[in-house]
Structure 1
Amino acid sequence: MATNELEELRKAITDTDNQLLNIIAGRQKLTMQVAQTKVKHHIPVRDQVREEQLLVRLIKQGQAVGLDPHFVTKLFHVIIEDSVLNQQSMLAQWANPGAQLPLNRVAFLGEKGSYSYLATQKYFARRSGELMEIGCQSFAEIIQKVESNEADFAVLPIENTSSGSINEVYDQLQHTRLNIVGELTHPINHALLVHNDIEPGKIQTLYAHPQVFAQCSHFLADLGNVEVKPCDSTSAAMLIVNELQSDTVAAIGSQAGGKLYNLRAIKSNLANQKENHSRFIVVASQPIKVPLQVPAKTTVIMSTVQTPGALVDALLVLKENNINMTKLESRPINGNPWEEMFYLDMQGNIEDGPLQKAIDTLRGMTRYFKVLGCYPVEEVSPTKVAAVNALTKGS
């Protein structure tokens, strides 16, 4: 009797879930119509005031039917983020009609299961056309695939919240003619992956990418006397553990990637910083046009004249034009001892007046200057509405 009652309840939940999916799909269609209107009337994608009003109303309505305000806030943050990214993707496609390909050939580090593989899947899920994955063993090989037209795009990790900038990628950007056309931030959750369930203390050899070892140095110190063996990618590390099928070896990688190699996670959240994210850039042979309605970022590379205060003078140009710099990275110039090449990430569209003016000024005062790319900002900051405070607004 109880079994029949449970089955009826489960059937009702399934029917409700199906209704929810149809409603969410209908909402997505409406947001695409909103995007068309914004294109026609040159309206920005995001309207923070509208989003805040929406969340306040939904929180109050949710409380009236017994829903927790924090749950409603979290749910609609996800829905709003998806709506913004879909609108940005549509606007970008309309602005670059010739860039839409029936097949996207994408080069990335490692094979299936690597973090670059997971980032590639995430980024191109919103792009039209099929995805052809091209795994590579080095950053130089990734760049070469696109430069030789064997790939249309490359996905490259550029920095991590725990281990910092990936210098080898910055050095590759210094010499390539490719353009940055996109970015994404992907959460990194390192797990200890093994073939069979074993105690971490029995592990004698550990395989991972050098960046992963750097990000998990505290865990390695606690693990004790274990031999660490660097690999070209996390997927290469997982493949080795899969092939060895030994109870004394393990890899560090994502739990999702480990499943592709029949590995199980016996410990997770291994990184020194628990909020561990990697930022990836997407590069291609040709630059893209970013509609002015879409939040954009522009990356440049420059070397200043060798005089005192030259870099400060260059950065003052950004301040004078009210340009926000989000990243400044320096790398040595090969063959020029003690001289540096500077990489700058700036908020703004290269076709917008203030940034255009700043770039023109910088070209005239630096020894070398190049725009590496102008591209949409993929990270959608949540609308700042405190769920508790929202309930008292307007009362």
Structure 2
Amino acid sequence: MKDSLDLNVIREQITNLDQDLLSLFAKRRSLTLNVAKSKAHQVRPVRDQQREQELLVRLIQQGKKEGLDAHYVTNIFQTIIEDSVLNQQAYLQQLKNPNIKTPTVSVAFLGDKGSYSYLASYRYFSRRAEEIIEFGCDSFSGILHQVESGTVDYGMLPIENTSSGSINEVYDLLQHTNLSIVGELSQPIDHCLLTAVNSSLDKIDTIYAHAQPVQQCSNFLAKQEGIRIEYCDSSAQAMQKAAELKQANIAVMGSEEGGKLYELLSLTKSIANQQENHTRFILVARKPVDVAEQIPAKTTLILATGQNPGELVDCLLVLKQHGINMTKLESRPIQGRPWEEMFYIDLEANLKSAKMQDCLTELTQLTRFIKVLGCYASEQIKPTKVPAQHQ
């Protein structure tokens, strides 16, 4: 009886500590927002990575005195730093674009609740809006249509995955829309095999899934025998079917987080070919946004060159000469013009900066067609590195 009582006391102490930690995390977050407010009228970057590195080293040293592992301390505070950076960026962007500040936003995404696009939408707007009005669509073109028609404020679109590569259909649709890219998000993708009832892998003969998870989990599927894949328009639709059928021989490929919304059980976790599996999403809207100078920005554009040798190289040399880093180059065929291609380029630059404007002037002279798809805050936060001797 005494052991049981002691255990309950210990658990209560842990619960109280967890509540204290949450209060401290909230207090720290409010202080970092005050930092953002102090930078609002100064052209100072949100991030100071030298200071972040010094902070991590100091915390690691203090943690060791408390018996804490350096890796443990680093992981915790890298997450805290990322949260701080993203919250400061969101605050500065709201100041820069006061006309679009609203407590409620409507977002179109692929599938229904539980899809990866659904989860990405909630993650992106968790810092920006109090309420999200959901609008699930069954196609990428449907998402664009809802935004173009004014039915919703934004559209969330997956653009590339670290395992399966670029999502060509989205790139092709961007050729023909007047919408602007106004944001991005890199979402961790952890594919699981989910079931509606208790089951085992040897009982599964049918898997419902969207084409992207099937492609990203091809190694796992190749090892399974006698399993039939039923393709769905989205992971959410696949989860809905599994939840409705409630059969031990049926599974679905999706996220554990999304599966919980349908009361699905995780049968097998982490089945993707690559363990570090991320999908990059872009957010589109009818009007472009301005990016605060303190924030790392990306500019996405499309261009078409002539058919003469070296014309694309000439364009890339312009970027190099202006010191603009290119993070993505994707080619897609131009519909109705055989053997001609359109090039999509992501650049680490603010559209309104002098070097970017000079670069666009020169590129316009070198290309047959050029169009800016959008300038937006970069949300790919690279973790601050800790010197090896402190790890």
Q: Please give the TM-score of this superposition, normalised by the length of structure 2.
A: 0.97
CA distance in 1, matches of 2:64, 2:88: 29
Question: Per the alignment, in what secondary structure is the counterpart of residue 197 of structure 2?
Answer: coil
CA distance in 1, matches of 2:90, 2:204: 45
For 2:206, the equivalent position in structure 1 comes to: 205
CA distance in 2, matches of 1:18, 1:262: 28
CA displacement, residues 155-192 of structure 1 (integer Å, 9 cap, x when unaligned): 00000011110000001111000000000111111111
Question: Per the alignment, in what secondary structure is the counterpart of residue 262 of structure 1?
Answer: coil
1:125 equivalent in alignment to 2:121: no
Matches for 1:55-94 after TM superposition, within 5 Å: 55-94=56-95
For 2:286, the equivalent position in structure 1 comes to: 285
Q: Which moved more, 1:164-173 or 1:122-131?
A: 122-131
Paired positions, count: 390
Shift of 1:11: 2.3
CA distance in 1, matches of 2:380, 2:344: 20
For 2:196, the equivalent position in structure 1 comes to: 195
Shift of 1:35: 0.6
For 1:179, the equivalent position in structure 2 comes to: 180
Question: Per the alignment, in what secondary structure is the counterpart of residue 373 of structure 2?
Answer: strand
With over 3 angstroms needed to count, the CA separation of the structure-2 counterparts of 1:98 and 1:129, relative to structure 1, is: farther
For 1:236, the equivalent position in structure 2 comes to: 237
Q: Is the 8 A contact 1:100 1:129 kept in 2?
A: no
CA distance in 2, matches of 1:102, 1:21: 24
CA distance in 1, matches of 2:9, 2:227: 53
RMSD: 1.2
Q: Please give the TM-score of this superposition, normalised by the length of structure 1.
A: 0.96
CA displacement, residues 338-387 of structure 1 (integer Å, 9 cap, x when unaligned): 1001100011111112222111211221111110011111111111114x
Q: Which moved more, 1:87-96 or 1:270-279?
A: 270-279
For 2:297, the equivalent position in structure 1 comes to: 296
* Identical residues among aligned pairs (%): 53
CA distance in 2, matches of 1:12, 1:245: 41
Unaligned runs of 5+ in 1: none
Q: Is the 8 A contact 1:331 1:341 kept in 2?
A: yes
For 2:329, the equivalent position in structure 1 comes to: 328
CA distance in 1, matches of 2:390, 2:205: 53
Q: Which moved more, 1:57-66 or 1:137-146?
A: 57-66
Question: Per the alignment, in what secondary structure is the counterpart of residue 230 of structure 2?
Answer: strand
Question: Per the alignment, in what secondary structure is the counterpart of residue 242 of structure 1?
Answer: helix
Question: Per the alignment, in what secondary structure is the counterpart of residue 223 of structure 2?
Answer: helix
Question: Per the alignment, in what secondary structure is the counterpart of residue 40 of structure 2?
Answer: helix
Matched letter for residue 191 of structure 1: C
For 2:307, the equivalent position in structure 1 comes to: 306
CA distance in 2, matches of 1:211, 1:8: 48
CA distance in 1, matches of 2:197, 2:366: 61
CA displacement, residues 130-168 of structure 1 (integer Å, 9 cap, x when unaligned): 100100000000000000000100000000011110000
Matched letter for residue 300 of structure 2: T
For 2:370, the equivalent position in structure 1 comes to: 369
Matched letter for residue 69 of structure 1: A
Question: Per the alignment, in what secondary structure is the counterpart of residue 41 of structure 2?
Answer: helix
For 2:389, the equivalent position in structure 1 comes to: 389
For 2:44, the equivalent position in structure 1 comes to: 43
For 1:215, the equivalent position in structure 2 comes to: 216
Matched letter for residue 307 of structure 2: Q
1:111 equivalent in alignment to 2:103: no
CA displacement, residues 100-129 of structure 1 (integer Å, 9 cap, x when unaligned): 123200000000011111111110101134
Matched letter for residue 64 of structure 1: K
CA distance in 1, matches of 2:11, 2:146: 50
CA distance in 1, matches of 2:56, 2:227: 50
CA distance in 1, matches of 2:147, 2:80: 34
Question: Per the alignment, in what secondary structure is the counterpart of residue 163 of structure 2?
Answer: coil
CA distance in 2, matches of 1:13, 1:73: 22
Matches for 1:342-353 after TM superposition, within 5 Å: 342-353=343-354
